[in-house]
Amino acid sequence: MRLHVVTGKGGTGKSTVAAALAMALATTGRNVLLCEVEGRQGIARMFDTDPLPYEERRITKGAPDTDGRAGQVHALHIDPESALLEYLSMYYKLGRAGKALDRFGVVDFATTIAPGVRDVLLTGKVYEAVQRPRGGRHKDQITYDAVVLDAPPTGRICQFLGVNSELAGLAKVGPIKTQADKVMELLRSDRTAVHVVTILEEMPVQETHDGIAELRAAGLPVGGIVVNLVRPRDLSAGALAQVRGNRVDPTAVASDLARAKVDVDADLVTSLVDEARDHAVRRQLEDEQRELVAEEGLPTYELPRLAGGIDRGALLELAQLLRRQGMA
Amino acid sequence: MTTAPPLDVDALLDDPHTEIIVCCGSGGVGKTTTSAALALRAAERGRKVVVLTIDPARRLAQSMGIEQLDNTPRPVPAVDGAAGGSLDAMMLDMKRTFDEVVESQASPEKARQILDNPFYVALSSSFAGTQEYMAMEKLGQLHRDARQDGTYDLIVVDTPPSRSALDFLDAPERLSSFLDGRFIRLLLAPARGPARLMTAGLSVVTNALTKVLGAQVLRDMQTFVAAFDTLFGGFRQRADQTFALLQADGTAFLVIAAPEPDALREAAYFVDRLTDDDMPLAGLVVNRVSPSARTELSAEAAITAADRLRSSDSSSLTAGLLRLHADRVRIIEREQHLRERFAASHPAVPTAVVPAMAGDVHDLDGLRAIGELLADGG
């Protein structure tokens, strides 16, 4: 049973990658839980369902294996208020006190103001799902083969995951310290892998580099790098060189176009070549960034930018690509 | 098809009544770059500007001369001051801003007591929302100073990449309501002594807290709250002032987005929140819009033609050109659809569209280029 934590700079598509990874892992009858903690209901939107409650819900079939056998992806939207009340009722059986806590603004305090408590409640719930024993107390509870956590962005990931040690420092004894320690032990173990999602642009790649260094310094196990939103590579290296060197023969292109039954004029040829030149500039930048990513020396997976946007079908396509590259 | 009214960026920057511009939006949409570009453009058009950034990329920070995190505005080198303007920049140091507020409000001895409290240390460096609150606090400070000595006539603020739009608008209110709340009074009650205040309800709560957090954390919190007690009024007042400042006529909010579903959804949410709270919304900036196609050829026609060519020559260069064109057209159509959908639900929001640049921006020339695009994008 593994925990996959997916982080990445804002705008790199980490939630998409987390969902695709969950689907890639949910093969051959395996059960996977996809968790989100940022209150954005991104999972519900991606899978076009009603907003998720604080409750595990089956959300989609996974990616089928070569024999066509898929598993199930379940989703859980973790909000700190519900996690706190559940935590209290699980460990302390606080019926009346739970309500009193709410009335006195304690729930609000604990989940928004008290440093780190919010994060330990969120990671604590993930911990519970990961550690759930097979055939445990609750018969209706599913035990999962893998849990994928759509985590906060790279800039906050160490604080989010490591906050437990910070909190543990604040709370030197007591039940929440015990809880925080247990969570930390799982996060630092080889059962956890923190994956970083990036795109091939300077800032996200720089942030990926810094994030990986921070994760390592915090003793958190780094998994792989997922390079997302990669531009299509419809031009070969040779073709790119021709475009860059202004060596494309317009007459040849024009006759090709005519052969393909396109109404062709000189403007069309120039426009297509100009567009290819724009593309060549970006490809060059991407290639430079790709080399930097490779220097991290981590397993790296690439996913294309899909022109049609993200829906269930697109996620399945991405899941298969991750599988083929050996991420799941 | 719905098109948004254009946003006249230069008119906004040139208007002497514009005193504060707040750039907000979700993470990864180019907020920091937009803030810096707006500030530079305003300065070179004659305004005396300070820009408050939260977490600029290293090279951008270097070129703006703000690598040092010393919480004080520094002049940006090589700004063209011909029009009589100037540009200072600073990077927010959240903890130091918090410390300074404490130091300015309490006696040195009491301030020390607070600054050393472990609960305060955690609160000031890691509480989710502290950064948002401190960005607003710093804005308030800069604005007061600017009024007093006339150093600046325009403040441009970048906002932290919040968990959600709520954090940034709610942080001042949340902090002040917390500080005013029953919970604080509860924590203060034992420290103040009178046992009769400890009603049955209260003891249930303290017992529960002790169980969860442990007695020692509760003690730290009580010490902190007791020491902080005299400062609460001041904090509340400052939070209220900042909120009023954000609502004032001289403030202009710009919501920044990218042509992606999540970013535009967050932008829509922001626009609604700002409207609900009577915050002065100046407009929407959509960054990184894909450059338009250079020819009318449709995506379908291009793909069909490419397939024809590929069937006879799998490495056809022309087929590659056609496929690239088809991809470009599809992405543009999708972005346009997303923007139209936004405009349909928010028809009155003036919008500027900024085309994507090939590379990242990390010097003043790059910021100038973005500034041009912003001004042309309305």
What's CA B25's distance to the chain center, in Å?
A: 6
User: Which one has a higher pLDDT value, A27 or A114?
Assistant: A27
How many angstroms separate the CA atoms of B292 and A152, rounded? 33
pLDDT at A75: 97
Summarize pLDDT for A136-189 with one digit per residue, the tens.
666 678 899 999 999 999 988 988 887 655 555 566 666 677 778 888 899 999
* Interior angle at CA B164, CA B31 and CA A114, nearest 5: 120
pLDDT at site A80:
85
Q: Given CB atoms, is A275 within the 8 Å cutoff of chain B? A: yes
- B368 and B22 in contact (C-beta within 8 Å)? no
Give the residue from A208, A161, A113 showing the smallest Cα distance to B187. A113
Task: Check if the beta carbon of residue A29 is closer than 8 Å to that of residue A69.
Answer: yes
* Per-residue pLDDT at A249: 95
For B121, residues 6+ apart whose C-beta sits below 8 A from its C-beta are B115
Residues 69-128 of B with CB under 8 A from A: 118-119, 122-123, 125-128
Task: Report which secondary-structure segment, H or E, holds B209.
Answer: helix B200-213
Contacts of B198 (CB under 8 A, 6+ apart): B189, B190, B206
Smallest CA–CA distance from A163 into chain B, residue: B126
pLDDT of A301: 98
Least confident of A180-184, A191-195, A320-324, B297-301: A180-184
| Cβ-proximal residues to B43 (8 Å cutoff; 6+ apart), any chain | B49, B76, B79, B81, B85, B86, B87
Find chain B residues with C-beta within 8 A of A44's C-beta: none
Contact criterion met (CB < 8 Å) for B118 and A281: no
Chain B residues with CB-CB distance to A39 below 8 A: 163-164
Following DSSP, what letter does each residue of A22-67 receive, concatenated? Answer: HHHH-BTT-EEEEEE-SS--HHHHHTT-SPP-SS-EEEEE----TT
**Taking CB atoms and an 8 Å limit, are B321 and A276 in contact across chains?**
yes
Q: Is B73 exposed, middle or buried (0-12, 13-18, 19+ CB in 10 A)?
A: buried
Question: Which of the residues B294, B296, B312, B341 would you substitute to probe the A interface, choosing the one with the greatest number of A C-beta atoms within 10 Å?
Answer: B294
* A151 contact B CB<8A: no
Answer yes or no: do A176 and B209 touch at CB < 8 A. no
B374 and B46 Cβ atoms separated by less than 8 Å = no
At residue A116 the predicted structure's pLDDT band, cuts being 50, 70 and 90, is: low
Phi, psi (5° rounding) for residue B89?
-140, 150
Subunit contact B27:A153, Cβ cutoff 8 A:
yes
Specify the pLDDT at position B283.
97
A54: tokens are 């604080």
Taking only residues 123 to 142 of chain A, the set having a beta carbon closer than 8 angstroms to any beta carbon of chain B reads none
Share of chain A above pLDDT 90, in %: 63
- Residue A177 at interface with chain B, using a CB cutoff of 8 Å: yes
Which residues in chain A have Cβ-Cβ distances shorter than 8 Å to B129?
112-113
What is the pLDDT at residue B292? 86
The C-alpha atoms of residue B329 and residue A300 are separated, in whole angstroms, by 29
- Residue length, chain A? 328
The predicted pLDDT at position B162 comes to 64
**Interchain pair A275, B27: CB under 8 A:** no
Of B317, B330, B293, B307, residue with least CA distance to A244: B317
Stretch (H or E) spanning B256:
strand B251-257
Superfamily covering domain B9-298+323-376: P-loop containing nucleotide triphosphate hydrolases (3.40.50.300)
The structure tokens listed for A272 are 């297509």
pLDDT single digits (tens) A241-264: 999 999 999 999 999 999 999 998
CB contact under 8 A, A176 and B214: yes
Kindly state whether B181 is in contact with chain A, defined as any CB-CB distance less than 8 angstroms. Answer: yes
Alpha-carbon gap: A99 to the closest alpha carbon of chain B (Å): 10
User: Given phi > 0 = left and psi -120 to 50 = alpha, else beta, which region is B13?
Assistant: alpha
- pLDDT per residue, tens digit, chain B (378 aa), is 567 899 999 999 999 999 999 999 888 899 999 999 999 999 999 999 999 988 777 778 888 878 776 788 999 989 999 999 999 999 988 888 889 888 988 889 888 988 888 778 777 776 556 777 788 888 988 999 888 988 999 999 998 776 555 566 676 666 666 666 666 666 666 544 444 444 555 666 677 667 666 677 777 777 777 777 677 677 777 777 888 888 899 999 999 999 998 899 989 989 998 998 889 999 999 999 998 888 999 999 999 999 999 998 888 999 999 999 999 999 999 999 999 999 999 999 999 999 998 777 889 999 999 999 999 988
- pLDDT for the residue B166: 57
Q: Is the ipTM of this complex over 0.90?
A: no
Instruction: Supply the pLDDT for residue B157.
Output: 93
Residue B269: closest C-alpha in chain A: A40
> At residue A291, does pLDDT exceed 80?
yes
Which residues of B are less than 8 Å from A311 in CB distance? none
**Mean pLDDT over residues A291-302, rounded?**
98
Chain A residue whose CA is closest to B326: A307
> Which chain B residues touch A236 with a CB distance below 8 Å?
315, 320
Query: Rg (Cα) of chain A, in Å, rounded?
Result: 24
Q: Do B317 and A253 touch (CB under 8 A)?
A: yes
Chain segment A51-106, per-residue pLDDT in tens:
999 999 999 999 999 999 999 999 999 998 888 888 777 766 666 666 666 666 66
46-75 in chain A: CB under 8 A from chain B: none
Residues of B in contact with A206 (CB under 8 A): 57-58
The answer, yes or no, to whether residue A227 has pLDDT greater than 60, is: yes
> What pLDDT is stored for residue B136 in this prediction?
83
Give the H or E element holding residue B228: helix B215-247
The verdict on A309 touching B (C-beta cutoff 8 Å) is yes
Residue B182 with chain A: CB contacts under 8 Å: 103-105
pLDDT of residue A308: 84
Q: Say which of B129, B204, B317 has its CB closest to residue A248.
A: B317
Q: Residue A249 and residue A231: Cα distance in Å, rounded?
A: 25
Q: CA geometry: angle at A34 spanning A63 and A181, to 5°?
A: 135
- Which residue from B20, B23, B141, B45 is spatially nearest to B371, judged by alpha carbons? B45
CB atoms within 10 A of CB B177: 14
Domains of chain A: 2-231+289-324 (3.40.50.300)
Residue length, chain B? 378
DSSP B157-185: EE----SSHHHHHHHHHHHHHHHHSHHHH
Is the Cβ pair B126, A116 closer than 8 Å?
A: yes
Given CB atoms, is A95 within the 8 Å cutoff of chain B? no
